[in-house]
Amino acid sequence: MAKNRSYLYGKNSVLERLKANPGSIRKIYVQDNFNAPHIMEIIKSRKIPFRSVSEKDLLRIKRADRVQGIVAEADKYKYTPFDEILHKGMEENLSFIFLDGLNDPHNLGAIIRIAACFGGFAVVIPGHGSVDVNETVIHVASGGENFVPVSMVTNLPAALIKAKKAGYWAAGSVVEGGEDINRTSLPFPLCLVLGAEGKGIRYGIQKHLDLKVSLPMKGAQLSLNVAMACAVFAHETARQRDE
């Protein structure tokens, strides 16, 4: 396969791409007993080449869990330039989710899906020391990548500073010592900064934060992973922003 191509797999991932950006799909492989008439109808109406193959052959094309009988060969994911996201953010009142050093593709995929569900978000990740938007991320995002622009930047602190100069505020999530997110009046437009599990937000980014926020947890002494925490922070951000 060409370097500028990637594989989408799973019903939701392929279906959402068919609806949002069918031009990015080059070919689709379906298992010979694939039973999803609504998906096949869209494939045929979009005139996208498809081929019926055995389960064994399908797994040769893309070996992964939960292929669900369908794999699409598509254009490689395209990041949105940060300047473009910043301009769009100011025009459309987007909130940004800055992710500092996430290495788990499942967490990144879940965060993109969360951002898509709440709406009005863009995601910013560093080019080094972080997972990129790979095939696993897109699979977990379940189509969310079609609705959330993601920018990969060379220097995350510099991008945050640039956003602040454009009028954004920066709020970082911390496990302890931050203001209760449920009792904090968030400033907008907002950059929400989330750190990697175990490490948190690096000092080089923390020093640019305008406020720190935490999730109050009165139950067991356990912690939420970054995607779970993002869901709570994104919900509260969207609620306050859209009031």
55's torsion region: left (phi>0), alpha (psi -120 to 50) or beta? alpha
Share of the chain above pLDDT 70, in %: 98
The type of residue at 175 is V
The whole-number average pLDDT for the span 27-55 is 97
Which segments of the chain are extended strands (E)? 5-9, 25-31, 50-53, 70-75, 95-100, 121-126, 150-153, 169-173, 179-180, 190-195, 211-214
pLDDT tens figures, 149-180 = 999 999 999 999 999 999 999 999 998 889 99
CATH 3.40.1280.10 fits 82-241, yes or no: yes
Q: For residues 51 and 163, what is the distance between their CA atoms, to the nearest angstrom?
A: 46
Q: What is the largest CA-CA distance in the chain?
A: 56
Residue 126 has pLDDT above 70, yes or no: yes
pLDDT at 185: 97
The type of residue at 129 is G
pLDDT tens figures, 172-214 = 999 888 999 999 999 999 999 999 877 889 999 999 999 999 9
Residue 71 has pLDDT above 70, yes or no: yes
pLDDT at 4: 84
- Strands of the sheet containing 25-31, edge to edge, are 5-9, 70-75, 25-31, 50-53
pLDDT at 217: 80
**Mean pLDDT for the chain overall:** 94
pLDDT at 228: 95
Homologous superfamily (CATH) of 5-75 is Ribosomal protein L30/S12 (3.30.1330.30)
pLDDT at 197: 76
Work out the burial of residue 48: count CB atoms within 10 Å of its CB; fewer than 13 is exposed, 13-18 middle, 19 or more buried. Answer: middle
Residue 1 has pLDDT above 60, yes or no: no
Share of the chain above pLDDT 90, in %: 88
The whole-number average pLDDT for the span 77-81 is 97
Show me where the domains of the chain are located: 5-75, 82-241
pTM for this entry: 0.94
